Amino acid sequence: MLRHIFVVTLLLLVAACGSSPKTDFYMLNADQGSLMQAANAATGPAVGVWKVMLPDYLDRSEIVTRDNAYQIKMADFSWWAGNLENNMSVLIAAELSEGLLSNRILVSPWESYRKHDYQLKIRVVRFDGALGGEIVLTGVWSLLDAAGLEELSGEVFEFKANAVDSTYKEMVATMSQLTVKLAAQLTDAIIAQESK
């Protein structure tokens, strides 16, 4: 009898180990309706967007949260659906396309024959926050000339917002909103340059 109970218990433990929680995948996103309209917009300034540079601690599949100034955590079952640098770069380019009414916004790498009016470099220092708390996006951007050699303007940026609830879905939605705010700042800088 004891042996039978032991075998059943062992089988239950093995079965429990084989069924791990489901991993959820997320990506930064914005209003797709407006982005589709931008794709058909009239030709505007040509902007080459260099891939966003993220700090090493964000170069991973897991979504990173921060509880305090010194401790970060990696989500076990909430991952990015691809590369965060690429996702962020494409979202910024799409928002620039809408804001500038331009279908000539490209993310690096681009073909050598492509000519730009401007090049844009973005380095993110921090992009994280607490579940159900404050989400922070900080860094610096530079708007360069057509050849990418001279800085025309640049700025240190910081955007913050509080997530509505403590889910990863809400955290990613808030991160998306901050990315859109950064793209709006970049759009304003290019429009200001165009008016000179």
- The predicted pLDDT at position 42 comes to 60
Average pLDDT over residues 111-126: 94
- The predicted pLDDT at position 30 comes to 82
- The predicted pLDDT at position 11 comes to 47
- The predicted pLDDT at position 39 comes to 52
Answer yes or no: is pLDDT of 2 > 60.
no
- The predicted pLDDT at position 7 comes to 45
Adjacency order of strands within the sheet including 105-107: 105-107, 47-49, 118-129, 134-144, 151-162
Stronger pLDDT, 16 or 116, i.e. the higher one: 116
- Give the tens place of pLDDT for each residue, 140-157: 999 999 999 999 999 999
- The predicted pLDDT at position 37 comes to 52
Percent of the chain with pLDDT over 70: 84
- Give the tens place of pLDDT for each residue, 88-98: 999 999 999 99
Domain assignments of the chain as residue spans, ordered by start = 25-194
- State the CATH architecture for 25-194: 3-Layer(aba) Sandwich (3.40)
- Give the tens place of pLDDT for each residue, 75-84: 999 999 999 9
The mean of the pLDDT values for the chain is 88
- Its pTM stands at 0.85
CB of 118 closer than 8 Å to CB of 187: no
